Structure 1
Amino acid sequence: MEHRIVVLGAGYTGAVVAGRLAKRLHRADVHITLVNPEPDFVERVRLHQLAAGQELRPRPFEEMFAGTGVKLRLARVTAVDADAKTVTLAPAPTGDRGDRPQTGPRTELAYDTLVYALGSGWHDGGVRGAAEHAHEVSSRPGAHRLRERLAALAAGGSVTVVGGGLTGLEAATEFAEARPDLDVHLAARGVLGDWLSEKGRAHVRRVLDGLGVTVHEHASVEAVEADRVTTGDGRTVPADVTVWTTGFAVHPIARATTLEHTDNGQIVVDSTMRSVSHPDVYAVGDAAMAMGPGDKPLRMSCASGIPMAWQAADALAARLTGAEVPGIGIRYTQQCVSLGRTNGLIQFVTADDRAVERALTGRTAARYKEMVCKGAAWSVANPTLGLPTRRRRVAHQETPDRARAATAA
């Protein structure tokens, strides 16, 4: 009887897990279903480029998983019953941008092992007017909506990016470079680049100044209107378009389950990305609370998610085949920031993600960042780094429920 593995979400982490399991396990022993609402892979780290008017290379899952045995199920996840080991699915949205809701009957999908990789989306922080007036670049539909809004904005129009983190820096510089006729602002809660080294901060400031971006430091935005944002100290920043990049919120499904999770809805996992409360569930990427070097939680990022996916897939494959469970040391080496198409910053960091003084800047950093983005996409389509070419057989251990069902049949 095939062991049913269901992977929820086909972002960087979910797609890597599905492909890596397919390469590790004998096809006759497992049935791997990858559930995702869109038929092709979304390079989330490039969505600010899409919003700025650039075209991204399409990556259909049918091509990526051709010949692997992975079955793609186009659907939207509405619930997970971790005790009954079922997932409830609804029809996937339709339309070119995947933003047209579709009605239809809901179905249940049973699993023996679940890999939860539903990721995260934008988080408005409860700020007044943000949900109504701000745009986001954490999803492809959101990036398309912002792209259309920016394209319609006349010369001299104002764009304010709220959030001075990695996404905010990349968005502000991309928009300013692509549309030098616009008045671009960046509102940072604290000092610009306060997590970077002195060299990194200085470079970021030079690039923003060169692109004509107006930086507002210590600017905690407390209200968003159709044409402006207002900070906590009463400052008003013009904003015909507001782009919200202050942080991410994890998918809400896990919070409604019996899985042990944090207050923000992340599933608590051990060092192999296995749920601490339900051993038949693994969680990876932004959806998981995993500890990294220095006993600090791994941050929500592609840099964390892909090695988490390797660890989960390899641990699950080992347990199913009776092999020794491997350990992958997840540590940080760098933070990569694109600052437009021809400039960038590679901030080198300690294992626990603290900036050191060493950094690459300029065109060299831009090429480096591009290589990292291409490498992340390559790892999704080629998830077999360090794996033997021969698939291992699963040591079947029927669950009581499945054994009873087989006997009744």
Structure 2
Amino acid sequence: MSRIHDAVIVGGGYAGVVAANRLSTSPALTVTLVNPRPSFVERIRLHQRATGSYDATVPYREVLAPSVRLIVDTVTRIVADSSRLELASGVELHFDRLVYAVGSHAATPEVPGAAEHAIALSTLEQSDDLRHRLESLPAGAPLTVVGAGSTGIEVAAELAEQGHPVTLLAGGGLGPSLHPSTRRTIARQFERLGARVLSGPGARAVAVQADRVQLADGRELSSARTVWTAGFTVPDLARRSGLTTDASGRLVTDEALTSVDDDRIVAAGDCAAPSGRPYRMCCASAQPLGALAAETVLLRVAGDAPRGRSLALPGQCLSLGRRAGVMQLARRDDTSLRTHVGGRPGALIKEGITAGTLVGLRTMARRPGLIPAMKLLQDPRRAALLAAPGAPASGSVAGSPVGDVTGLTD
């Protein structure tokens, strides 16, 4: 009789859930998912939870196949040479195969006062903290959102639509990964909402106090609450465990998502750096990467060699409050095109994609065999860069800097 292998997934976000469900189809595996929270968090909805328009949590029993065991705990160390995980509770967990899917979170701001006085928005707890702080504000109290990537754009629009006076600081530009025509559409929507957008180097925050933000050009903004969305990073679990990571702490893998240190360990989602070149942090990449990571595990357990595939991202969508949005189309290498859909149609597309993501996860939980082996489209630019002699070992292939996360999307 064939030996049963213990497969453990560390992290229960979009990538981890897809990987767990896909692995549950194999009779050769027992599948365990370890996550710090008992519920699945829809990170792409956290800006709505912060403003009270959506709950953004779902019981894991709705999105995990019944055979997947859930352990609510935190992995503090991966001890690869002895095939075990150390958990915060003191328990040790054995693994034969490991899927590293710890996701990402807001980076600790280096600007003076930001860590003490600003509120990040990348976890459930941060979202609840922001909501509670907003509830205690008097009417008309000014708010500042620092960072104008997709996270900043979405939360600023959500707050402005609810009637808060909002200033969005776009020191690096409004939606820098988007096409200029899409940026103009977003700017017009902020005008309709009565929100102020300050752009350019002078609009960078250089200090944050409890009631104000100081800008690089010397201006001071009154700010009853400051939301910090300028930069995401990944947990340092892989680095602390002695595994090879890139400069941002992502686990370095080959194109089949296998760790360069140990072929029993694969990575998926925001925390993976295939060939040292991570994909954009987003739900659109997390789910297929989760499926690809699972496929690599299944092939290795069956004694077959996995084949690396590249992921093509066709675009991204953003909400601009509840009544407007944008759907930005892109080339297969994730370079933004002029073509986009804005306004109410953009909002409907965004909501359809967001709602459809949860429907898809629930469907996978009931019928995990439906998850395809992910015949991922080849990204020609990525293939060319990986083949280029002397190519740098880190950075984004798709034109966005590694630190420029494009929304709460994994």
Q: TM-score, normalised by structure 2?
A: 0.85
1:77, 1:199 → 2: CA distance?
44
Mapping 1:283-302, distance limit 5 Å:
283-290=267-274, 297-302=278-283
Could you tell me which runs of 5 or more consecutive residues in structure 1 were left unpaired when the two chains were aligned.
Answer: 92-105, 389-409
Partners of 2:149 and 2:176 within 8 A in 1: no
1:186 equivalent in structure 2: 168
2:334, 2:156 → 1: CA distance?
24
Mapping 1:148-227, distance limit 5 Å:
148-178=132-162, 180=163, 182-218=164-200, 219-227=203-211
Query: Which residue of 285, 290, 293 corresponds with 1:309?
Result: 290
Q: Structure 1 residues 260 and 225, CA, compared in 2 at 3 Å: closer, same or farther?
A: same
1:85 equivalent in structure 2: 83
Please, what is the CA RMSD of the aligned residues? 1.8
Q: Is 1:16 matched with 2:18?
A: yes
Distance apart, 1:304 and its partner CA: 1.6
Given residue 44 of structure 1, which amino acid in structure 2 is its aligned partner? R
Equivalent position SS for 1:15: helix
Distance apart, 1:162 and its partner CA: 0.4
Distance apart, 1:387 and its partner CA: 4.0
Q: Percent identity?
A: 39
Distance apart, 1:121 and its partner CA: 1.1
Q: Is 1:74 matched with 2:72?
A: yes
Mapping 1:5-404, distance limit 5 Å:
5-23=7-25, 25-26=26-27, 29-56=28-55, 58-65=57-64, 67=66, 69-91=67-89, 106-178=90-162, 180=163, 182-218=164-200, 219-290=203-274, 297-323=278-304, 325=306, 328-383=309-364, 384=368, 385-387=370-372
Instruction: Give CA-to-partner distance per residue, 1:82-134, whole Å, 9 cap, x none.
Output: 2222111124xxxxxxxxxxxxxx11111111111111111133111111111
1:122, 1:196 → 2: CA distance?
21
2:204, 2:347 → 1: CA distance?
30
Given residue 47 of structure 2, which amino acid in structure 1 is its aligned partner? H
Given residue 188 of structure 2, which amino acid in structure 1 is its aligned partner? R
2:258, 2:360 → 1: CA distance?
22
Partners of 2:23 and 2:29 within 8 A in 1: no
1:101 equivalent in structure 2: none
Distance apart, 1:366 and its partner CA: 0.7
Larger radius of gyration: 1
Given residue 205 of structure 1, which amino acid in structure 2 is its aligned partner? A
Partners of 1:339 and 1:345 within 8 A in 2: yes
2:277, 2:94 → 1: CA distance?
34
Q: How many residues align?
A: 365
Distance apart, 1:276 and its partner CA: 1.3
2:115, 2:178 → 1: CA distance?
30
Partners of 2:207 and 2:213 within 8 A in 1: yes
Instruction: Give CA-to-partner distance per residue, 1:335-394, whole Å, 9 cap, x none.
Output: 111000110011111122211111101111111111111222233333444549xxxxxx
1:400 equivalent in structure 2: none
1:3 equivalent in structure 2: 5
Partners of 1:165 and 1:246 within 8 A in 2: yes
Partners of 2:113 and 2:208 within 8 A in 1: yes
Equivalent position SS for 2:348: helix
Q: TM-score, normalised by structure 1?
A: 0.85
Instruction: Give CA-to-partner distance per residue, 1:52-89, whole Å, 9 cap, x none.
Output: 1123264211233353x110001112111122221111
Partners of 2:167 and 2:197 within 8 A in 1: yes
Equivalent position SS for 2:185: helix
2:19, 2:111 → 1: CA distance?
36
Given residue 228 of structure 1, which amino acid in structure 2 is its aligned partner? R
Q: Structure 1 residues 75 and 194, CA, compared in 2 at 3 Å: closer, same or farther?
A: closer
Given residue 211 of structure 1, which amino acid in structure 2 is its aligned partner? L
Partners of 1:44 and 1:138 within 8 A in 2: yes
Q: Structure 1 residues 367 and 300, CA, compared in 2 at 3 Å: closer, same or farther?
A: same
Distance apart, 1:273 and its partner CA: 1.0
Partners of 1:314 and 1:326 within 8 A in 2: no
Partners of 1:124 and 1:244 within 8 A in 2: no
1:382, 1:286 → 2: CA distance?
23
Equivalent position SS for 1:382: helix
Instruction: Give CA-to-partner distance per residue, 1:32-64, whole Å, 9 cap, x none.
Output: 110011111100010000001123264211233
Could you tell me which runs of 5 or more consecutive residues in structure 2 were left unpaired when the two chains were aligned.
Answer: 374-410
Distance apart, 1:328 and its partner CA: 4.4
1:231, 1:80 → 2: CA distance?
42
Instruction: Give CA-to-partner distance per residue, 1:192-238, whole Å, 9 cap, x none.
Output: 23432232111101100110111111221111110111122212122
